[in-house]
Amino acid sequence: MKAFVYENPMTMPLREVPLPEVGECDVRIAVKAVGICGSDVHGFRGTTGRRKPPIIMGHEFSGVVDAVGEKVTRWKKGDRVLANPLMTCGICENCRKGFPNVCSNRHGLGVDLDGAYAEYVKVREDMVFALPDSLTFEEGAMVEPLGVAMHAVNRTPLLLCESLVIIGAGTIGLLTLLSVRLKGAGKIIMIDTDDDRLAFAKKLGADEIVNSKTTDPLEFVKSATNGRGADGVIEAVGISPTAALSLQIAANGAHVTWIGNSQPMVEINMQQIVTRELTVSGSYGFISEFETAIEAIRSGRIKPMVLVEQVAKLDDVGRLIEDLSAGKINPVKVMIKLD
């Protein structure tokens, strides 16, 4: 089969590789749609260090069951499916306490298990979910990032009509915006450095948009919240300046959720957390939000396809990731469609 193999930083050629072999509890899926994730672009540059070559990346996908192992009972060839890309052990203390997203023995499809920038991908049976008939494969491929955004929103306590700031208008930031509107947020302020993205956020329902290159975001948020700061902040960038900003713009006693994951070490003002009693949470992956995301799309409460600004073929993945990495193109979401 054809697959893009990440072999070294900045090197991800299209290769002919063997079809994934199906173990007794595995399901092989013919990929029909796969989204390009910003984390793959970072991974391609080798800056995050989480993806160890050689690996096939791609974790936001849907498709059709192609083959199943002997012990698989719930799926058969031809089923329309999608898969949770996190493979968890189910028996560690984290899994048993209900936090499989931070399983001590977790593996990630497209991170340390071969993923979906390929014609076929293999997953364990329990990672597979049915794709409702009314959802397109492309919508199915948006479930994973939506689940990530929804988990961050669930990690951020917010009373009706309280204010929320989202830092970063990438796919996750924008899906966070759509999700937090469902939760009944009051004023939603979106901060980014890209005017096009901010205009997009406005279209999706952000009340206020701030370009932090041209406007002081701290002053802006203060004046938009009667000098108090935001009741909730979700950081969806993951670098030092935005991590620091997320604390500065929070109201005393507020909750700050970090979902951005680009730079391992950041510099923040710890005293802000202590003396203003901020709560800072990390948010990683999702738990039940994967199914919530399926249902939110099925019911029409969230329409994620508005974020897809470019559709391409599997053969284009390598070039697109290079262009995204070089900043030559800047679509919100690129969706790969396979025949």
- CB 99 to Zn ion: min, Å: 9
Under the criterion CB under 5 A, does residue 89 sit at the interface with Zn ion?
Answer: yes
- CB 97 to Zn ion: min, Å: 10
Under the criterion CB under 5 A, does residue 206 sit at the interface with Zn ion?
Answer: no
SS3 string, the chain, reads: CEEECECECCECCEEECCCCCCCCCEEEEEEEEEEECHHHHHHHHCCCCCCCCCECCCCEEEEEEEEECCCCCCCCCCCEEEECCEECCCCCHHHHCCCHHHCCCCEEECCCECCCCECEEEEEHHHEEECCCCCCHHHHHCHHHHHHHHHHHHCCCCCCCCCEEEECCCHHHHHHHHHHHHCCCCCEEEEECCHHHHHHHHHCCCCEEEECCCCCHHHHHHHHCCCCCEEEEEECCCCHHHHHHHHHCEEEEEEEEECCCCCCCCCCCHHHHHHCCCEEEECCCCCCHHHHHHHHHHCCCCCHHHHEEEEECHHHHHHHHHHHHHCCCCCCEEEEECC
- CB 14 to Zn ion: min, Å: 21
CA distance 37 to 317: 11
- Residue closer to Zn ion by CB (options 78, 90) is 90
- CB 237 to Zn ion: min, Å: 14
- Residue closer to Zn ion by CB (options 210, 296) is 296
- Residue closer to Zn ion by CB (options 159, 329) is 329
Stretch that binds Zn ion, among 93-101, 113-121, 202-210, 247-255 (CB under 5 A): 93-101
Under the criterion CB under 5 A, does residue 95 sit at the interface with Zn ion?
Answer: yes
- Residue closer to Zn ion by CB (options 87, 198) is 87
- CB 171 to Zn ion: min, Å: 8
Under the criterion CB under 5 A, does residue 103 sit at the interface with Zn ion?
Answer: yes
CA distance 191 to 3: 36
The site that binds Zn ion (CB under 5 A) totals a number of residues, namely 6
CA distance 65 to 310: 26
- Residue closer to Zn ion by CB (options 103, 210) is 103
Stretch that binds Zn ion, among 89-97, 154-162, 226-234, 306-314 (CB under 5 A): 89-97
- Residue closer to Zn ion by CB (options 89, 268) is 89
Say if residues 223 and 194 touch (Cβ distance below 8 Å). Answer: no
Under the criterion CB under 5 A, does residue 87 sit at the interface with Zn ion?
Answer: no
Under the criterion CB under 5 A, does residue 198 sit at the interface with Zn ion?
Answer: no
Stretch that binds Zn ion, among 99-107, 203-211, 214-222, 291-299 (CB under 5 A): 99-107
CA distance 224 to 245: 16
- Residue closer to Zn ion by CB (options 15, 107) is 107
Under the criterion CB under 5 A, does residue 92 sit at the interface with Zn ion?
Answer: yes
- Residue closer to Zn ion by CB (options 95, 178) is 95
**Beta-strand relationship, 80-83 and 188-192:** unpaired
Under the criterion CB under 5 A, does residue 293 sit at the interface with Zn ion?
Answer: no
Stretch that binds Zn ion, among 98-106, 214-222, 252-260, 294-302 (CB under 5 A): 98-106
Touching Zn ion, residues 17-76 (CB under 5 A): 37
Under the criterion CB under 5 A, does residue 102 sit at the interface with Zn ion?
Answer: no
Query: Residue numbers of the site for Zn ion (CB under 5 A)?
Result: 37, 88-89, 92, 95, 103
